[in-house]
Amino acid sequence: MTTRDGHMTKALYDIYEDLAKGEVGLIITGYANVVKEEQPNPGMMGIYDDSFIAEYQQLTNLVHNYDSKIIMQIAYGGTKTKYKYIKYININLLKEYTYINT
């Protein structure tokens, strides 16, 4: 339902507006990929850079106009991803996380 790179379309805005008009109290979006190079499913929403800010502000305002709430479900593709993820790992953050959770 999105553009090829995960941006919103009118059809997708219409779906969320219909949900909000129908008095759905809390809408959880379809999942959005957080890394541009991976998109495990075609048509997924994206949230991997600042180019999405304005359209998601528009979506949030649209839903709030009907007194509904909205949460974006974000996702990492895991084993379905095809990019070389190691270059994106912050080793210091990983070490800190491991230390905290052991």
Q: What is the pLDDT of residue 42?
A: 82
Average pLDDT, the chain: 82
**What confidence tens digit (pLDDT) does each residue in 36-56 have?**
877 778 889 999 999 999 999
List, edge to edge, every strand of the sheet that includes 32-33.
45-46, 32-33, 74-75
- Please tell me the distance from the alpha carbon of residue 88 to that of residue 51, in angstroms, as a whole number: 20
Is 50 contained in some domain?
A: yes
What mean pLDDT do residues 18-26 have? 96
Count of structural domains, the chain: 1
Instruction: State the Rg of the chain over Cα.
Output: 16
What's the N-to-C CA distance of the chain in angstroms?
Answer: 41
More confident residue, 101 or 62: 62
**pTM for the whole thing?**
0.74
Is 66 contained in some domain?
A: yes
Residues of the domain holding 57: 10-100
Is 70 contained in some domain?
A: yes
**What confidence tens digit (pLDDT) does each residue in 61-89 have?**
999 999 999 999 998 766 666 655 545 44
